Every structure is written in C-alpha cells, then in structure tokens.
Amino acid sequence: MSKDRTAGLDAAVERISRALGPAGCITEPERIAPYLVDFRNLYHGETRLVARPCSTAETSEVVAICHELGVGIVPHGGNTGYCGGATPGTGGDEIVLSLARMNRIRALDAANFTITAEAGCILADVKAAAEAADRLFPLSLGSEGSCQVGGNLATNAGGLNALRYGIARDLALGLEVVLPDGRVLDGLTSLRKDNTGYDLRDLFIGAEGTLGVITAASLKLFPALRSVETAFIAVADPAAAVELLARLRAASGDAVSTFEYLPRIAIELTTRHVHGVVDPLGRPYDCYVLCEVSSAREAAGLREVLEGCLEQALSDGLVLDAAIAESIAQRNSMWKLRESVPEAQRAEGASIKHDVSVPVASLPAFMAEATAAVLAIIPMARMVTYGHVGDGNLHFNVSEPAGADRAAFMLREAEIQGAVHEIVRRYRGSISAEHGIGQLKRAQLARHKDPVALAVMHAIKQSLDPRGIMNRGKVLPD
Ligand code: FAD
Ligand code: 2HG
Ligand code: ZN
C-alpha cells in the first residue's frame, strides 16, 4: 500500500471509530475474520475495520469520510452471495461496511401493499412481517434465513418465485441510497407510478455495491396466499417440462408460482448428504419438476386444475409419475429436497458452476448441446443441471467425476466455462442470470457483454463514483 493510502486509511479508521463508537466498529482480527471470506470460500481479503452503522445518517457519515480520504468501501449484507462481491480485496486498503444493524421495518402499509425495510433486514424477517399483516412478500431464496434485502437488491436476486412475481428489481418501488460522496438519495417512494425523469432506482439494483450503499427499500407486497398446491412430478425429459409449464400456466390462469427442474442426481445427492431429505416418488426417474400453483382465493379449484393437467400430460407421455402434497409436512419435504441441492452438491465435492439463462423454449436444446460439450471435455463429469426453468434460468453445474482428483478437475474450469458460455452466447442468453458478477465473473463480463453497454456502465460509474471508492475490483472489468 502506498504511503498516501496508508495515511488515508489510518485517518479513516480513526474518524469512523470516533463517529460510530465501539458498538459500530469491529477491529479485532478474530471478529473481523468472517467478513474476509465469501460464502463459497473462493475469496479471502483483508481489512482493518468493519463499520456497522445503525442509521442512514451514520452510513452517510462513514461514506463521506471514506470519500474525503479516498478509502475503499465494501458493502456487506448477509454474505450469502455467490460471486465474492462482499469480500474485500487483498490489499487491506478498504473498509467493510456491514448493514446488519440497519434492520428495522420502517413501515408496513397493508392498504397500499407496501413495506419499507432497512437494508440489513433479513429476508425471512421481511417475509414474516408481511405475513403478520396478511400480505405476501414473495422473494424466496434458499438463503433467506441469512441474506438481507439490501443484498437481494444489490444482486437483483431471482429465486424460486420469480416466474410469478418477478425478480428483486420487479419488487422494489423505491430506494434510499447513500451515494459514494456521502449524500443521501431519498428515493423511498411507495408510488406505483412516477414518471418524473430517469429511473435512478434501477441503477443501484444489480450494481452489487459499486454505485452506492442501499440503506432502505420500499417493496411491493401481494395478497397472502389462501390456497397452495405443490407437486413433485417425474417428467419424460426437459422438453416435456417446458411443455408442461406452458400447459399449467394456461390451465391455471397463470397461477404457477414455482416451476423448478431437477435431474435424478439431485435426488441422489440430497438424500445422501442432507439429513431428512426423502425421494417423494416410489421409484427413480431421469428428471423431475417441483411445481407450485397458488392463489389468494380460498377455494380456487387449483387441485382440480393441477390433477386435470397432470392426468392429460400423463396420457400424452409428458409426465411419468407425480405426487401432490397432502399436508404441509409433505410440501415442506418437497421444498427441502429442492433447497438442499446446493448444500448436497458442495458435500459431494468440487463443482464448476454456471448460472445461465436462455429463452425458456430453448432450454432443452441448450441443455443437450451444453451437456455434450462438457462431456466431450470430461467424459465422466456429473451433470447437476437444475433450477428455475420457469425463468429460463439453469444452474448448469458440473460435479467432479466420482473419485476424481479435485485439483485436476478444477484446472479444466476455464475450458469448460468457455465452452458452455459460448453456447449461451449463441442462444443470446446470459452468463449470469441471477447471481451477479462480483469478483468471479468480471473477465467473463468483459468477454460477453456488449461493448457499448460496458462503456455506458463505465460512464455511469465514473459519474457517480469518480474517486472509485465503492466496491473496487467488482463487477466492472478494468
Ligand atoms: P452479500 O453476499 O452480503 O452481498 C452481495 C453483493 O451485494 C456484494 O457485492 C455486496 O457488496 C452488495 N451489497 C450487500 N448489501 C448491500 C447494500 N445494502 N448496498 C449496496 N450493496 C450491497 N441467489 C438468487 O438470486 N437466487 C437463488 O435462488 C439463490 N439461492 C441461494 C441459496 C443458497 C443456499 C445460497 C447460499 C445463496 C443463494 N443465492 C441465490 C445467492 C445469494 O443468497 C443472493 O445473491 C443474495 O441476494 C445475497 O444477499 P446477501 O445479503 O447475502 O448479500
Ligand atoms: C439455487 O437456485 C441457488 O438453489 C444456488 O441459486 C445455485 O448453488 C447453485 O449453483
Ligand atoms: Zn437459483
């Protein structure tokens, strides 16, 4: 670190410590340690200070100090992100800014169907607050017990209900953001309609902390669900899954809220590694769908619609078998299986991940082509392709061959990713459908994003953060 940077950092640590007091600062190495590594253990960084402001005013003060002294800031939510966005760099010249103490629900307006939550609210707590008011906040992620709404918005998270309710961006009405110079942008509107110029809110959603710190958000709520039907369905192949999705959407009046694809290996891995997971069907099949149809109406007739659709699909050869949950316990058990796949895949060994999207109708062809490309490189690789088929988003993950040498497998990562992403490009898909870019995919962004879009992104960054203090080395390629 240069002399100037060291002096700036010393002064920033000293001034922030004074401003926030002991409750708002972590400086002991053993307490800092969890902030220095990402969820997937891919990145390890350094910092001398984790600032934990408890209000927008305190956040603004911290950011203004860093701006004045040219010190880098790494916003940190629940640290469940997949791309190392919340982990500081190795230089030790940035502070980490944790939103964890900004965890108040500021308002819930049931009549307006909105909730205003601070960025550090845990997603599950926001959902629970909505439920207590007979409302639904639909964003649903396997990490919802620890991720924060600020992190969800910063990564523009997708998850298990996006098909029906949209992704994080679709659920935000307004944001409060501390800009890189410390000013507070008060965009905390609960309006559905506001056409007064550029939509600044959308700049910060998906920016992964590179343009400012989200401190609060006004979010959309929906009527609470009164009827939910959940089915675990063995389908003939991915094409059958896509066809079934279209039929169910039409037959149910677009009441499909979850439509998740799972290959057989997902069931083998989850039942092997995660306590309490059971196969809902009596015998093995090649691939499955976890599907939910739901309504805010009490007697919506969804069970009949689902059964009718499945019976027809069975006689047409799309569906091979199905179980419809008869109790909350059975429903939870089906969900547990789906949500345990990442954990089980981790427990099984190394994997090369791709979080890709293509148009829904192209999924079967994409899967066939991309699988063939991977197996041409590593014939014994195990394809764990699953995910949000209703959104055209697959976690096209490749587990190491059983008994393989982990390091040798991971050495092929670039080659495999290159091959898969090339196919994604041909389908005009995305190389990061829902997990973002962070540190992990900067080089790939440089390769795959339209150069004009990249130039506009750089121009926006330069205009909002000319001193380059916000989340250095994340998202934007150099
Ligand atoms: P963090 O990991 O702390 O941070 C993520 C990024 O956001 C970083 O760049 C950070 O700097 C920035 N950031 C955090 N808070 C703020 C803020 N207040 N202001 C500005 N920037 C900020 N993701 C999906 O999209 N769909 C899924 O289905 C899904 N399932 C998951 C399941 C599991 C088991 C796990 C572990 C993760 C899953 N994820 C999923 C990924 C992850 O949970 C999401 O990306 C989540 O939105 C990250 O939130 P977080 O609070 O943990 O953010
Ligand atoms: C999911 O949908 C998450 O379960 C995690 O987005 C995906 O681990 C993964 O690859
Ligand atoms: Zn996902």
Q: How far is the CA of 320 from the centre of ligand 2 (A)?
A: 26
In a domain, 454, yes or no: no
Distance CA 467, CA 452 (A): 23
The protein residue with its alpha carbon nearest to ligand 1, atom 14, reads 151
pLDDT at residue 471 greater than cutoff 90:
yes
Q: Which domain holds residue 317?
A: 227-342
d(CA 119, CA 90) in angstroms, rounded, equals 26
Which among 342, 375, 406 is the end of a domain? 342
Res. 285 pLDDT band, cuts 50 70 90? very high
- In terms of domains, do 274 and 361 share one? no
Name the closest ligand to CA 391: 3
Judge whether 467 lies within some domain. Answer: no
Q: Is the CB of 85 under 6 A from ligand 1?
A: yes
395 CA from centroid of ligand 3 (Å): 7
Residue whose CA is closest, atom 49 of ligand 1?
A: 151
Q: Is residue 157 located within the same domain as residue 57?
A: no
pLDDT tens digits, 131-184: 999 999 999 999 999 999 999 999 999 999 999 999 999 999 999 999 999 999
Our answer on whether the CB atom of 101 is closer than 6 Å to any ligand 2 atom is: no
pLDDT tens column, 201-226: 999 999 999 999 999 999 999 999 99
142 and 199 fall within a common domain: yes
Ligand 3 center to 141 CA (angstroms): 8
pLDDT given at position 68: 97
In a shared domain, residues 240 and 309: yes
Together in a domain, 110 and 186: yes
Cβ of 353 below 6 Å from ligand 2: yes
Q: Is 436 in the pocket of ligand 2 (CB under 6 A)?
A: no
Can you name the residues that pair with 223 across neighbouring β-strands? 135
**Last residue in a domain, options 53, 84, 101:** 101
> Any bridge partners for residue 44, and if so which?
37
- The ligand 1 atom nearest the CA atom of 434: 25
**Ligand 2 centroid from CA 159, angstroms:** 8
Q: Please state whether beta strands 72-76 and 94-98 pair in parallel, antiparallel, or not at all (unpaired).
A: parallel
Nearest ligand to the C-alpha of residue 147? 1
- Looking at ligand 2, which residue's alpha carbon is closest to its atom 2? 387
pLDDT > 80? residue 1: no
Structure tokens at 72: 């880098």
Substitution candidate for ligand 2 out of 139, 155, 160, 341 with most atoms within 8 A of CB? 341
**Which listed ligand is nearest to 142 at the C-alpha?**
1
Mean per-residue pLDDT over the chain, rounded:
97
In a domain, 477, yes or no: no
**Residue bearing the CA closest to ligand 1, atom 10:** 86
What residues pair up with 176 in beta bridges, in sequence order?
A: 186, 216
- What does the alpha-carbon distance between residue 141 and residue 176 come to, in Å, rounded to a whole number? 23
Would 457 be classed as within a structural domain?
A: no
CB 242 within 8 A of CB 363: yes
- Does the Cβ of 477 fall within 6 Å of ligand 2? no
Instruction: Indicate if ligand 2 lies below 6 Å from the C-beta of 354.
Output: no
CATH number at residue 267: 3.30.70.2190
Structure confidence by residue, pLDDT tens digits, 39-52: 999 999 999 999 99
Q: What atom of ligand 1 comes closest to residue 149's alpha carbon?
A: 51
Q: Ligand nearest 353 Cα, by number?
A: 2
Number of domains within the chain: 4
CATH number (domain holding residue 94): 3.30.43.10
Q: Is the pLDDT of residue 466 over 80?
A: yes
Answer whether residue 451 is part of any domain. no
| Contact by Cβ (8 Å): 155, 208 | yes
Specify if 476 maps to a domain: no
Give the pLDDT band (50/70/90) at residue 32.
Answer: very high
Task: Tell me the CA–centroid distance for residue 260 and ligand 3, in Å.
Answer: 10
Strand order of the β-sheet with 94-98 is 25-26, 50-51, 94-98, 72-76
Instruction: Measure 157 CA to ligand 1 centroid, in angstroms.
Output: 7
pLDDT tens for residues 337-380?
999 999 999 999 999 999 999 999 999 999 999 999 999 999 99
Q: Is the pLDDT of residue 5 over 80?
A: no
- Asked if residue 19 has pLDDT above 90, the reply is yes
Indicate if 271 and 308 belong to the same structural domain: yes
Q: Which single residue is written with the structure tokens 């976690």?
A: 395
Residue 60 predicted with pLDDT over 80:
yes
Closest ligand, as measured to the CA of 39: 1
Closest ligand 1 atom to Cα of 38: 2
For residue 125, the model assigns a pLDDT of: 98
Do residue 249 and residue 335 come from a single domain? yes
Confidence tier at 101 by pLDDT (50, 70, 90): very high
What is the structure's pLDDT at 227? 96
Q: Would the pLDDT of 282 be above 90? A: no
* 306, 262: one domain: yes
Question: Under the phi-then-psi rule, with left for phi > 0, alpha for psi from -120 to 50, and beta for the rest, what region is 231?
Answer: beta
In this structure, are 190 and 216 located in the same domain? yes
Q: Which atom of ligand 2 is nearest to the CA of 338?
A: 4
Q: What is the pLDDT of residues 325-341, one digit of tens each?
A: 999 999 999 999 999 99
Write the CATH number for 424: 3.30.70.2740
Contacts (Cβ under 8 Å, ≥6 apart) of 390? 162, 163, 245, 256, 258, 259, 260, 360
Same domain, 389 and 319: no
Whose atoms come closest to the Cα of 100: which ligand?
A: 1
Q: pLDDT band at 245, cuts 50/70/90?
A: very high
Same domain flag for 114 and 205: yes
The residue nearest atom 6 of ligand 2, judged by CA position, is 159
142 touches ligand 2 (CB under 6 Å): yes
Domain boundary among 280, 314, 342: 342
What pLDDT band is residue 7 in, cutting at 50, 70 and 90?
confident
pLDDT at 4: 75
Are residue 335 and residue 355 in the same domain, yes or no?
A: no
In a domain, 151, yes or no: yes
Residue 205 pLDDT = 98
